[in-house]
Structure 1
């Protein structure tokens, strides 16, 4: 989702970028040591199992959520608190931003820099990818699986616009420019090489909501084919997905999301050999559609996934008002639709040492009445269905 970048942190860990490998993280909280050890012993690499996923030996529909901000927290205790709450709630998969690009020098948390006049730099320091390192470590200890993506389509936290400003490229040429793609792959290698042996990774995601407005869909499909093959050459253990909104080439009601105006072809991209499963998002109001438009959108994606033989995840969905009334039926539709293997609401919220986490209106806070209905009850419904 396109979000406004906000300053989440009041405490900053100062460090300089280094070229050394990411350091391992020492678990500082010992109260769950026995449980964590058992979880890690049972953990396996998540995988596709028919039209669902096998997660640590169980093939089931799962519920998950998004917390893009968790890798930018500077408090390990806060990270652990979130993971504790996810674990106790029965949420299995968490999607996080694996990118944080900056275009000027900063003492805050950043992962990659594109400062004019300097070479791009990947920050493996204490205020860089070591923050993501702790997220992966804590997830592993709590039995949570992570979807980690590598770049944003939007300008929040840098993304493709940061690359374009630095290299003088455009939204269209981002996908084909050799210098851009070389740096993008260098960044992918830094992340994937660190966690290729971690069972806490659910999947690698090429981008958050990639689009190429006005482009021939083959441009993005070719890019996704090459990028997913590159990731697979680095890591044969983990699944790979697009991270797209699910724009379909025809069908449906013929409305904008069922066209190739954004340069995307959902089915063609799902057929890429190294793409393991599909993602799609649901924000009807952003696409000038009605609330009731969402159920057919879910069903149509499920049908395509059944046709191709790979599962779908409703990876983002959210509303700012009447959450239970609107999102409850969406969850029920997803749970009952063949080809849909999980849903992940946007976005998880909690109260940490620095206060409440990001609230973009869609946020569902832990312990709230909406949380009790849309998470606790939803997880119970999933268990009841088996």
Structure 2
């Protein structure tokens, strides 16, 4: 990939204008090495903290400490400040090789405190601190497609080869002899076991300043590989968050607690933690030249529909002026009315806003022990709004994503807390053969036969794929730039890309990083009887379709953005 000069110019101008302002004020009452909040801001060591981050969920599973150290160094070199990773790795059978943190089998749970268990997580956190990085520790996963999957018996697929194959909620449910996904949130035995695990993790890092927050779960919702029960509602998920957050707070008074939800809203759902008319805690005065942010109003259904309609109107007018409008509708009183556009103008907001997933992110964010609002953005996994026929499909994705970001920032403002985009990604055509949707073990756009072979072979075949699924690299760069720019302008305090990619890693069979080639000879014996030198192979970090391994453009965008958001 090549670097887009206009991307660099954009961020250079934004950064230069920001640093020209007087430096941000210090917060004497919050002079602590632990990240805390002050109204809508993050504060650490007496100063404001805004950041660009990345997801490297697989870090604790790397085969050598040197690989961990080098990966953290490459991330830090771009100015990235926060890494989101899995602080869970659940198995029902102890593997021969590799890292595992918890054995869940037949209703019993055992925590691995050994060198290939929690001690490996200790190493990551210690090294992150040495590199000047913060970590978000996600404590369990909504997704585990290996449950009830034939892939679990396929030895050609290594454990943990995807972000959603590290155990999690459905493994608890299955091993405790239950049936529905949401029993993870309500079953007393599972709740006790999970909180026991959180106790053992959280108590290790009470005094670690490199921990940014404990994230309760990755993308929790009512359903997963296992279905939801009819009784699962937004109150089910909100109550679980409040219970577990209170438990963590009783152990660790120093660190923030976050949710990890996808950001799904429910504009009309009843609230367990309703907004009150009282203002948010007062924030310190802003620097000269900067506006003071006030507590906003919650997002409404009427607002969402109005914003979509206005955006379609603007796009249509732009297409008219450019001469690219396709008049495919009917003529009424001498004017064309596009039937395609009318079909998009429905009276429903869609599943992202109506509580279909059993998640009300505003209600969760307003739980007292939840420190900040979090959300995600993955258009290849789900739709964030109807397509607009007046623009190219990828531009619809970009615009719907931008609206999602501004709506999330508004929702966080309504509860008076910081907002963080904890994961965003868009699959490119070059990454399409890697793409495995969450809750799946199959790469639908891989070449024929790829989805059932080893990861190493799939990587080799990737270069031969001719699939056209996904956006181009240039479209991805444009979209990432737009989303980051929108997030900074909307007041997001953290923007975390998904996912970091790392090459040159040590391989070991049956682990996250498996050998990608067959060991062979790299030297010819110079004398009779001399043993040939074995070929030394290296591997890449897991990639489920979003990795930026070797992507100069994407990494440059993150590096430039880290300077811009820090100066905002």
TM-score above 0.5:
yes
1:85 pairs with one of 50, 60, 74: 74
Task: Give the aligned partner of residue 362 of structure 2.
Answer: 267
In the alignment, the residues of structure 2 paired with residue 285 and residue 256 of structure 1 have an alpha-carbon distance, to the nearest angstrom, of: 15
Confirm or deny: 8 A CA contact 1:85 1:366 kept in the other structure. no
Is the Cα contact below 8 Å between 2:90 and 2:166 reproduced in 1?
A: yes
Partner in structure 1 of residue 182 of structure 2: 172
The reply on whether 1:96 has 2:85 as its aligned counterpart is yes
Alignment match, 1:334: 487
Q: Is 1:192 matched with 2:188?
A: no
1:317 and 2:424 correspond: yes
Q: 1:65, 1:347 within 8 Å by CA — same for their partners in 2?
A: yes
Q: Deviations over 1:74-123 (max 9, x none)?
A: 3111111112122221111100000000011212310001133x731100
Partner residue, 1:352: 504
Measure, in 2, the Cα distance between the counterparts of 1:353 and 1:280. 31
Asked whether the equivalents of residues 78 and 555 of structure 2 are also in contact (C-alpha less than 8 Å), the reply is no
Residue 56 of structure 2: aligned partner: 67
How many residues end up aligned between the 2 structures?
Answer: 341
Cα separation, 1, equivalents of 2:44 and 2:65: 25
Paired residue for 1:301, among 372, 394, 408? 408
- Is 1:284–1:293's contact at 8 Å kept on the other side of the alignment? no
Matched, 1:109 2:106: no
Alignment of 1:278-289 (within 5 A): 278-289=373-384
Answer yes or no: is the 8 Å Cα contact 2:505–2:541 preserved in 1: no
Q: Map 1:1-386; keep pairs closer than 5 Å.
A: 44-107=33-96, 108-116=98-106, 119-155=108-144, 156-169=165-178, 170-213=180-223, 215-250=232-267, 251=301, 252-253=304-305, 254-289=349-384, 290-291=396-397, 292-321=399-428, 322=473, 323-338=476-491, 340-354=492-506, 355-365=539-549, 368-372=552-556, 374-383=557-566, 385-386=567-568
Q: CA deviation at 1:207?
A: 0.3
Q: Deviations over 1:244-264 (max 9, x none)?
A: 000001233412111111111
CA distance in 1, matches of 2:127, 2:368: 32
For residue 214 of structure 2, give the secondary structure of its aligned residue in structure 1.
Answer: strand
Distance (whole Å) between structure 1 residues aligned to residue 59 and residue 169 of structure 2: 21
Q: Distance in 1 between matches of 2:488 and 2:93?
A: 45
- The aligned residue for residue 13 of structure 1 is none
2:325 aligned partner:
none
Q: What 5-or-longer segments of structure 2 have no aligned partner?
A: 1-30, 145-164, 224-229, 268-300, 306-348, 385-395, 429-472, 507-538
The whole-number CA distance in structure 2 between the counterparts of 1:382 and 1:233 is 33
CA distance in 2, matches of 1:44, 1:137: 15
User: What RMSD over aligned residues (CA atoms) do the two structures have, in Å?
Assistant: 1.7
How far is 1:55 from its partner?
3.4
My pick for the range that moved more, 317-326 or 350-359, is 350-359
Q: CA deviation at 1:381?
A: 2.4
Structure 1 distance, partners of 2:238, 2:489, is 30
Residues 105-114 or 238-247, more deviating: 105-114
SS at structure 2 position matched to 1:348: coil
Distance (Å, rounded) in 1 between the aligned partners of 2:32 and 2:57: 24
User: Structure 1, residues 5-28: CA drift from partner, whole Å, max 9, x if none?
Assistant: xxxxxxxxxxxxxxxxxxxxxxxx
Q: Is the 8 A contact 1:149 1:207 kept in 2?
A: yes
Question: Given the superposition, is the C-alpha separation of residues 345 and 174 from structure 1 closer, same or farther in structure 2, using an over 3 Å criterion?
Answer: same
Quick check: which one's strand share is greater?
1
The whole-number CA distance in structure 2 between the counterparts of 1:105 and 1:382 is: 43
Measured after TM superposition, the shift of residue 361 of structure 1 is 2.1
Q: CA deviation at 1:366?
A: 5.5
Shift of 1:43: 7.7
Instruction: For structure 1, list consecutive stretches of 5 or more residues without a partner in the other structure.
Output: 1-41
In structure 2, what is the Cα distance between the partners aligned to 1:70 and 1:208? 16
The answer for the alignment partner of 2:149 in structure 1 is none
Deviation of 1:350 (Å): 1.6
Q: 1:48, CA displacement in angstroms?
A: 1.1
